[in-house]
Amino acid sequence: MILPATGTPAFDAAFRARFAELIAWRRDVRRFRTDPVPEEALRDCLSLAGLSPSVGNSQPWRFVRVSSPERRAAVAASFARCNDAAAAAYDDARASAYRSLKLAGLHEAPVHLAVFCDEATGAGHGLGRVTMPEMLRYSVVTAIHTVWLAARSHGFGVGWVSILCPEEVTASLDVPPAWRLIAYLCIGYPAEEHADPELVRHHWQERQETVLVER
């Protein structure tokens, strides 16, 4: 477990510039090299995830490494079915554009991680969840983002595959019934390096400025 340094850290302008660069280069990766991710680096990323904020300090994230070829094939089959259904929902021009996109690296990425929320956890004693029980799941998302940034700092990348049936993936991984799938992550070294998102590069959707609304 990685622990924060003792004392109050000083984050100077140079650090903030590097942090902004890290954020900018945190890309959703779909095109992976097949060479392995060092185990120590992967463990480092997961240790940092354990420092993420969570409602009531519940730490409800549960990481499952999917190594079985049979289980990976089941996930890939779910992706294929859901991807076909998604394409069919668009009109002809947009459907053609959709099918031209590479939307997952399931066959190339050396590491697959399914990330679940343990909705039966007693940790945190329910603090902050009575009025907003979804905060458990949001807490898991913070851990995922931490892993994403940490992975980029090690030179490898993450792809979040959302074109899946959660029930199919959960059943194929044989996890406790109270665990809810939040993300299926592909992890590995990028086959290409780009500062801009792939969906921008392939003209699917431009980035938009963040808007601050005053009330």
pLDDT at residue number 31: 96
Which residue type does 147 have?
A: V
CA-to-CA distance for 113 and 160, rounded, in angstroms?
A: 10
pLDDT at residue number 148: 97
Low-confidence ranges of the chain (pLDDT < 70): 1-5
CA-based nearest residue to 156, from 115, 199, 113: 113
pLDDT at residue number 3: 58
pLDDT at residue number 7: 81
The full set of domains in the chain, from first to last, is: 27-201 (3.40.109.10)
**86-105 core/surface letters (b: 16 or more CB in 10 A; e: else):** ebeeeeeeeeeebeeeebbb
pLDDT at residue number 5: 64
Tokens of 98: 């959709």
pTM, rounded to two decimals: 0.93
pLDDT at residue number 39: 97
Tokens of 111: 């590491």
> Residue 83 is inside which H or E element, if any?
helix 69-88
pLDDT in tens, 72-125: 999 999 999 999 999 999 998 999 999 999 999 999 999 999 999 999 999 999
Tokens of 26: 């945190």
pLDDT in tens, 46-55: 999 999 999 9
Q: Please report, for residues 66, 86, 114, 166, the alpha-carbon distance to residue 69 in angstroms, rounded to integers and kept in the order given.
A: 8, 25, 14, 19
